[in-house]
Structure 1
Amino acid sequence: MAPDEALARVRDLADDLVRRRSVRDFASTPVPEGVLDEAIRAAASAPSGAHVQPWRFVLVEDPAVRRRLREAAETEEREFYERRASEEWLDALGPLGTDATKPFLTDAPALIVVFEVHQGPSSPRPYYVKESVGIAVGLLLAALHRAGLSTLTHTPSPMKFLNEILGRPAEERGFLVVPVGYPAPDATVPDLERKPLDEVRVRIVEQ
């Protein structure tokens, strides 16, 4: 690839990704057929420790199942906001306007529940699990954004209810839940500023 083309392509991708924002208010508009499968296929192309590929993506479109997930998640979230979270943590969350109510789990037309896959009867021992799954989720979010979709990374804790409701084996451990769809007409996002390149990049060159 010619240098000019390489720069233009990576700049185009960066310009697109810096416009991505987490969305908490979703429309019920369905996602076009095949888009979520292709986004998951992109995520599953991620590198992984020893190429074990220790991830599972559970696509949940059934409204009744999403309702059960929301009820269980809000139970954990109420415990978090009322008892487990420190004042410092709550202060940090304040500008985002989050609380124990999670309507996006039922408003979004689909959820992608991401699991880490650990050693089990049908799965080998994985290596660098969180690093591997984290890279895959990054690719997933980028692919969904490129498709014009909005997402949110939701991390209820603890997550054992995900296995129970979705019928997943014990060797799979919840990593996060990604509501995906189109933003509601009245959706808003925080006015966030990302750190500039010079603040996050350290360049070491030959002297």
Structure 2
Amino acid sequence: MTRQKPAFQEVYPGFPAPAFESLQSRRLAADDMLQRAEAFYTEMNARRTTRQFSNDPVSQAIIELAVLTAGTAPSGAHQQPWQFVAVQDPELKRQIREAAEAEEYKTYTQRMPDEWRAALAPLGTDYVKEHLTDAPWVVVVFRQKYGLRADGTTYKHYSSTESVSIAVGLFIAAVHHAGLTTLTHTPNPMGFLGDLLGRPKNEEAMLVLPVGYPAPDAQVPRLNRKSLGQILQVGRGSS
């Protein structure tokens, strides 16, 4: 049964009505849409993750625009529960690398189960994280687990993990579109990042992204992406 749309006050009794504005968009011709979609796919299909970075400088303006792009992501209740911390200072990057390598060494030598090791073997990763000091920028993404008001009281954030994940995807796309590369690094545990970067108690680090130009001799694993048929179902499937 199709339901009729309720009045605002039926759903939100006592709350002020929200303000709306006209959506600014234009409808493209079908051929133009297909061309744009193909061009964007071709560009993003060339994106690769590398662990070998040049230390050539990158303008802060590029990082800022990539973060602004990430900030256009949809989020639960429009709470925007993300915080990007961009680090350029060599000493601070050294401290991040030292702490990350200490945790990663324990992971690779003590914590890592055989199944995880088998999954990582084709990538050839290890506990040495030179990308954290080679790349000109290290961007740490924090998830705000809950909101903090000025008086110190808290309020719930909804779908914060999903929201931050979408924002990170847009950040990665923006970095690639600008002609740079990045790496998604998730040292575990990551509590040291909040301490090193002076973040408040309601935030937890989700991801570390070194950003820069690839090194001239950078290499990437020889891998294949899943085909369209492996990642898309149209309509009802059979169980």
2:167 to 123, 136, 144: 136
**How many residues in Structure 1 have an aligned counterpart in Structure 2?**
205
Q: Deviations over 1:60-94 (max 9, x none)?
A: 00000000000000010011101111011111111
Aligned residue in 2 for 1:96: 123
Q: TM-score scaled by structure 1? A: 0.96
Aligned mates of 2:148, 2:226 — CA distance in 1: 44
Name which structure has the greater RCO, CA cutoff 8 Å, separation 6+. 1
Aligned mates of 1:20, 1:120 — CA distance in 2: 34
The yes-or-no answer on 1:4 pairing with 2:14 is: no
Identical aligned pairs, as a percentage?
50
Q: Deviations over 1:82-141 (max 9, x none)?
A: 111101111111111101100000000001100001225336421111100000000000
Q: Which runs of 5+ in 2 are unaligned?
A: 1-27
Q: TM-score scaled by structure 2? A: 0.84
Aligned mates of 2:42, 2:147 — CA distance in 1: 42
Aligned residue in 2 for 1:39: 66
The one-letter code matched in structure 2 to 1:152 is L
Q: Secondary structure at the match of 1:98?
A: coil
The structure with the largest alpha-carbon Rg is 2
Give the 5 Å matches for 1:153-164: 153-164=184-195
Q: Which runs of 5+ in 1 are unaligned?
A: none
* CA positional deviation for 1:19: 0.9
1:21 to 48, 71, 74: 48
Aligned residue in 2 for 1:168: 199
Aligned residue in 2 for 1:68: 95
Kept in 2: contact 1:52–1:124 (CA 8 A):
no
Kept in 1: contact 2:147–2:157 (CA 8 A):
no
Q: Secondary structure at the match of 2:208?
A: strand
